[in-house]
Structure 1
């Protein structure tokens, strides 16, 4: 039986996430519409519009999927989590996030094709946001989160990074090294770089050095503007650490 506090916390998380999702979607749509009236590359506007529409429509789509019976979902994400991290899966269920995460995983799986790479990334970002919010109010087991990452599918690996994002005490340099050096998706690598930046103070000098070496050795990072920007911020943190 779900505890009243968990049900209340789950509802608050849902409201916050919906507002953030709608705000981000509307911001992207407005930016794309404004760009239509100035000199801009029409081809570049397509993924922006697609991402904006997805963010605006996603809460409604998830609500519709949630109303179906649990067996409807093609992807049972919570079941995948429970296979390696039972306590983590139970915590997400207590917060009422099980069917919602299954719904997002199903949506992600349906968005196939190279033209939908950006949109798929937005869905993963949404999952990361939701579990990061959950990790702020619910304590997750560090060893379980590591196992979740090491033995999970691409979407579960990103979800594990989201849990760490919400609670930096869960940070593990071996997880970050694997997520940067052997990432299964660009989105996974992005969130790992973000964790290196945000969790810099939680890492030892040796861990920082190993992570920086892996970052410098990966040419893929420089090909993604967001990842490249994060890498530069990490270099600046490393430089400031040496000066001190």
Structure 2
């Protein structure tokens, strides 16, 4: 695979991004890959490379560019004060309003589909942590383009009485959806998962929502404290199955 660091011009600034393409330049289906809250780093690059190796052109942007270029945390995760982490998370997500994300996603999707190595036709989107909701918004923004979207340990996907809750975009979505939830996740507890499932059942589309037993928030990411390799591999198999079937 060939890998290129990009700087994308968006209405509100400049976004660091990574584009991973086939060495031979053969057009392949496109995937928008939204990282977790720790954003662009070696682990996320490795995850994006692995997915690209399945036969995709992958674009991974830093969604938190309004606050920081990578690294978006100026301190190591290991041994960090939880209060400091929470404070930084708040700073990173505060600018990500639905309106702001729509502007960003339009550029991300246009960039991905304009590549010579991206095949014409449907694309997929996947997000981790807060990226799960962003991937869902991508499917809503371009319903005729995004055929599949997946979220793993997505946080805040259903927020009652919040006009910015990601689940509210469902009526616009035509993509096939997959949600992988942790057993223990403060950002999506059992009651919230149940409410999201109700909303999905009221939606007319095709979806799958699963709880990964013994998994905690971040279980799919190798550098996360909660990394659970067996369940991460199961999640990866679900993701590749989704894209293989929806983007065929």
Task: Provide the TM-score with structure 1 as the length reference.
Answer: 0.35
> Larger helix proportion, structure 1 or 2?
1
Normalized per residue, the structure richer in strand is 2
With the length of structure 2 as denominator, give the TM-score of the two structures: 0.35
